[in-house]
Structure 1
Amino acid sequence: MTDAEWLDTPDRSDGRVYVMPDDLRFAVRVALATGRPLLLRGRPGSGKSSLAPYIATQMRWRYYEHVVTYRTQPRDLLWSFDSVRRLADAQVTVRRGQTPDDASYVEPGVLWWALAPHSARRRGRPAGAGITDPCPDPFEEVNTTRKPDRAVVLIDEIDKADPDVPNSLLVPLGSHRFTVAEIGREIRTERPEGAESEPFEEEGQGHRARHLVVLTTNEERELPQALLRRCVVHVLPEHDRAMLVSIAEEHMALWPGEVTDADRDLADAVAGELMKVRQHADKQGVRRPSTAEYLDALLACRSLGIRPGDREWQLLTKNVLIKPQQMAGDRA
């Protein structure tokens, strides 16, 4: 594999590949049928964050994501308001005898874009208003060719946020509406432009929801019970050897070059070695390597001609499957 081909290898989060077990597919259908958010639990690297872009790609729905941090504020997913810039501009406009347009300082969040993209582009101004500063879709490159009235939103690592954040989302997620305080306008789901059959609905059975919100948690912090009650909850299991190989085959089909029997044998061999590494990690008291790290190890082996048992394999194990910082943390 050349350097150029290596760089062209699709990323696991680009929505092109996902091996979806039947129980997970059913959980998605339930979330769509009920209009409830889908909360994914599981070990880091188990595919929680990859599901949402895959669903959006398969259904050709618009896609948005917000990675939660410890600094995330309750309304960041809905909108933000630049009060500092507004105050500075107000001093100029007042001297001119003008009134600042508060909508100019509104920045729609991912849930606003999902529910009401036309309103988000207008920054909440009423339809027909003259607009000199339309807000660009933050995922416009992806969403240009997708269905304008349907969307998938990924809220990643919701457990990192203060409990005020998930609690503040209960009403918007349940009623699909919220009010932007600074401009005094209610934002609600915009009317659909058409109805089409979707890959995740069974024949003869339509679903109600036009939006799917996917939440993920790494269990760093306990989530409010009120949020859990309002979600369809699914736990992604740790993948066994057979599932790892199935996932690898799907990814290898998109890798540059022909996939050979030797590649499939390599995928199985690396999966077998991963099982051993997991056992070793358990004995050492460090985190078990994930499916994501398995795919990294497989790509490295295929690209660099490494085979399990080689000297390079031992180096790869220490740098890809069991991270040096894990071992250092274990000794500390």
Structure 2
Amino acid sequence: MAFQGTQKYIASADLQLAVNAAITLERPLLIKGEPGTGKTLLAEELASSLNVELIQWHIKSTTKAQQGLYEYDAVSRLRDSQLGDERVHDIGNYIVKGKLWEAFEAEQRPVLLIDEIDKADIEFPNDLLLELDKMEFYVYETQQRVKAQNRPIIIITSNNEKELPDAFLRRCFFHYIKFPTPDEMREVVAVHFPDIKKRLLEAALEAFFNVRDVPGLKKKPSTSELIDWLKLLVAEDIPAEALQDKDGKSSIPPLYGALLKNEQDIHLFEKLVFMARR
């Protein structure tokens, strides 16, 4: 069944092609794009649309590739041996399965999300090359070979914090999620706010894209920030007129703290607005 997006997730034609191509090729889909453009949500909605299990592995700076396979809990085994627990005679009782192991032994083909892979150490992607390629790994403690019953659909996200190794990239199908155009953004907003007033929406989108166009912003507002901002505008019943420039001059949009997330960007925006008013 081809992925075409869902009622909750508007996928562009290019993204739909990328997802379906990765599934056909049985290669991991590497998704890049600005934070807040729906990379993680893609895996959730893909699993929902296919009606399969979603297994999520959220990567941190301290995450090691081995943790995705399994971990040997030697501390628990030592403690149990001191207490005379019979479990110590079977080392398999102290093997903790990782997310890849869970995905490999799933009876139905799951979606495996490896989220924000660029947060980990530079060697992390290389340490998973064989496992992602061959869909198997060896457990040395139990002399057991774990092989995928059904090759999982793998979604890997990256925020471009680090360059990924060429050998890893070669094994992936790549797609960059472009920032939505105003028309595409209207479709996204309609999912979250189907009854929003048209005048408010148009004024909000114009103000939002004007903020994004400000040169020198450290963190441009993303789709998720727009949704939060619109939620506040609707809750506070802000009129469309409050978002529009007066006398053709720039103005600071109300509740702009939902759009700009650091003091440098706020100071820059206020400075540019002040200069435009002079």
- TM-score tier, shorter chain, comes to 0.7 to 0.9
Q: Find the counterpart in structure 2 of residue 49 from structure 1.
A: 40
In the alignment, the residues of structure 2 paired with residue 23 and residue 252 of structure 1 have an alpha-carbon distance, to the nearest angstrom, of 25
In the alignment, the residues of structure 1 paired with residue 240 and residue 31 of structure 2 have an alpha-carbon distance, to the nearest angstrom, of 33
Work out which of the residue numbers 97, 115, 119 in structure 2 matches 1:108.
Answer: 97
Mapping of residues 219-258 of structure 1, within 5 Å: 219-253=160-194
How far apart are residue 308 of structure 1 and its match?
A: 4.6
- 2:142 is the counterpart of 1:183: yes
Work out which of the residue numbers 202, 226, 232 in structure 2 matches 1:268.
Answer: 202
Deviation string for 1:52-89 (max 9, x for gaps)? 00000000011011111110012111222222112222
Mapping of residues 63-102 of structure 1, within 5 Å: 63-93=54-84, 99-102=88-91
In the alignment, the residues of structure 2 paired with residue 47 and residue 97 of structure 1 have an alpha-carbon distance, to the nearest angstrom, of 48
Decide whether aligned partners of structure 1 residues 181 and 265 sit closer, same or farther in structure 2, where only a CA change above 3 A counts.
farther
- Please tell me whether the aligned partners of residues 266 and 298 of structure 1 are also in contact (alpha carbons under 8 angstroms): no
Work out which of the residue numbers 255, 258, 263 in structure 2 matches 1:320.
Answer: 258
Q: Find the counterpart in structure 2 of residue 166 from structure 1.
A: 125
In the alignment, the residues of structure 2 paired with residue 65 and residue 177 of structure 1 have an alpha-carbon distance, to the nearest angstrom, of 19
Q: Find the counterpart in structure 2 of residue 124 from structure 1.
A: none
Q: Which amino acid aligns with 1:103?
A: G
Percentage of matched positions with identical amino acids? 31
In the alignment, the residues of structure 2 paired with residue 51 and residue 18 of structure 1 have an alpha-carbon distance, to the nearest angstrom, of 7
Say which SS state the counterpart of residue 46 (structure 1) adopts: coil
Moved over 6 A (4+): 328-331
Decide whether aligned partners of structure 1 residues 16 and 90 sit closer, same or farther in structure 2, where only a CA change above 3 A counts.
farther
In the alignment, the residues of structure 1 paired with residue 87 and residue 34 of structure 2 have an alpha-carbon distance, to the nearest angstrom, of 55
**Contiguous gaps of at least 5 residues in structure 1:** 1-14, 118-147, 192-209, 254-258
How far apart are residue 217 of structure 1 and its match?
A: 0.8
Deviation string for 1:216-238 (max 9, x for gaps)? 11111110111100000001001
- 2:232 is the counterpart of 1:300: yes
State the superposition RMSD in angstroms.
2.4
How far apart are residue 35 of structure 1 and its match?
A: 0.8
Q: Looking at both structures, which has the greater relative contact order when contacts are Cα pairs under 8 Å and sequence separation is at least 6?
A: 1
Q: Which amino acid aligns with 2:112?
A: V
How far apart are residue 16 of structure 1 and its match?
A: 6.2
In the alignment, the residues of structure 2 paired with residue 44 and residue 111 of structure 1 have an alpha-carbon distance, to the nearest angstrom, of 25
Q: Find the counterpart in structure 2 of residue 17 from structure 1.
A: 8
In the alignment, the residues of structure 1 paired with residue 236 and residue 35 of structure 2 have an alpha-carbon distance, to the nearest angstrom, of 26
TM-score for the superposition, normalised by structure 1 = 0.71
- Please tell me whether the aligned partners of residues 46 and 291 of structure 1 are also in contact (alpha carbons under 8 angstroms): yes
- Please tell me whether the aligned partners of residues 65 and 154 of structure 1 are also in contact (alpha carbons under 8 angstroms): yes
**Contiguous gaps of at least 5 residues in structure 2:** 1-5, 244-251, 270-278
Decide whether aligned partners of structure 1 residues 230 and 330 sit closer, same or farther in structure 2, where only a CA change above 3 A counts.
farther
Q: Find the counterpart in structure 2 of residue 286 from structure 1.
A: 218
Deviation string for 1:116-166 (max 9, x for gaps)? 03xxxxxxxxxxxxxxxxxxxxxxxxxxxxxx4110011111011112211
- Please tell me whether the aligned partners of residues 104 and 152 of structure 2 are also in contact (alpha carbons under 8 angstroms): yes
How far apart are residue 325 of structure 1 and its match?
A: 4.2
Q: Which amino acid aligns with 1:233?
A: F
Count of residue correspondences = 256
Q: Which amino acid aligns with 1:28?
A: V
Deviation string for 1:304-326 (max 9, x for gaps)? 21235539x83411x11011445
- Please tell me whether the aligned partners of residues 81 and 105 of structure 1 are also in contact (alpha carbons under 8 angstroms): yes
In the alignment, the residues of structure 2 paired with residue 97 and residue 275 of structure 1 have an alpha-carbon distance, to the nearest angstrom, of 65
How far apart are residue 329 of structure 1 and its match?
A: 9.4
Decide whether aligned partners of structure 1 residues 306 and 101 sit closer, same or farther in structure 2, where only a CA change above 3 A counts.
farther
Decide whether aligned partners of structure 1 residues 329 and 116 sit closer, same or farther in structure 2, where only a CA change above 3 A counts.
farther
